[in-house]
Amino acid sequence: MSVAIDVVSDVVCPWCFIGKRKLERALELDASGAEVPVNWHPFQLNPDMPAEGVSRADYLMKKFGAAGGGSNYDRVRAAGAAVGIEFAFDRIVRQPNTLAAHALIAIAAERGCQGDMVEAIFCAYFLEGKDIGDREVLTALATPLDMGADDVERALTDESVRAMTREADERARAMGVQGVPFFIFDQRLAVSGAQDPEVLVGAMRQAARDRKA
């Protein structure tokens, strides 16, 4: 079925990484052979995060208290393992501001490699503990995708690109998006959360039927 899929997500949201894997599985299950465009849109879970980010330990203490989110992350680890993601939360030392990463993802869409950029950023943060707000880290992630330092510089400093990224975030909130991942099928049917592949396939098929009705 040929339906466009828009995904609203944040690159520091583990459920968004899980949701990406489940969407990939849904596209495999579809088996229609139709090319399905997937477009990624920004949603900053921490829009007021300082540009340089903060200590991950301090962030978790402020958010969860002394427990540090332990039981919550146990559930995330289990959900991740079920889709082949081995989260390495202990490697993360910096909670980043994600504006530059989202801006780079927007630029990657211009270059035709948006999905690969999203994947690279998720893996760098959740599997390797990299600071995805850092210029050198973003440059290292962009280079294998035939993107370069100029693209990263735009993401970090070009106010027009950064403003468009903020506006996209604001549009998602104005639409009523309160949590991510948030999937929109054919601009007519929405599914919230990292739902199972079968649910996502069902939404794809329903959106296709609704278009024909």
pLDDT for residue 66 is more than 70: no
pTM over 0.85: yes
Domain 5-212 falls under CATH 3.40.50.970: no
Number of H helices, E strands in the chain: 9, 6
Alpha-carbon distance of 114 to 118, in angstroms, equals 6
pLDDT tens, position by position, 104-122: 999 999 999 999 999 999 9
What mean pLDDT comes out for the span 76-100?
97
**Domain spans in the chain, listed from the N-terminal domain onward:** 5-212
Provide the pLDDT for residue 8: 98
* CA dist., res. 121 & res. 161, Å (int): 18
Rounded mean pLDDT of 141-158? Answer: 95
pLDDT digits (tens, 9 = 90+) for 117-139: 999 999 999 999 999 999 999 99
- The torsion angles phi and psi of 177, rounded to 5 degrees, stand at -70, 120
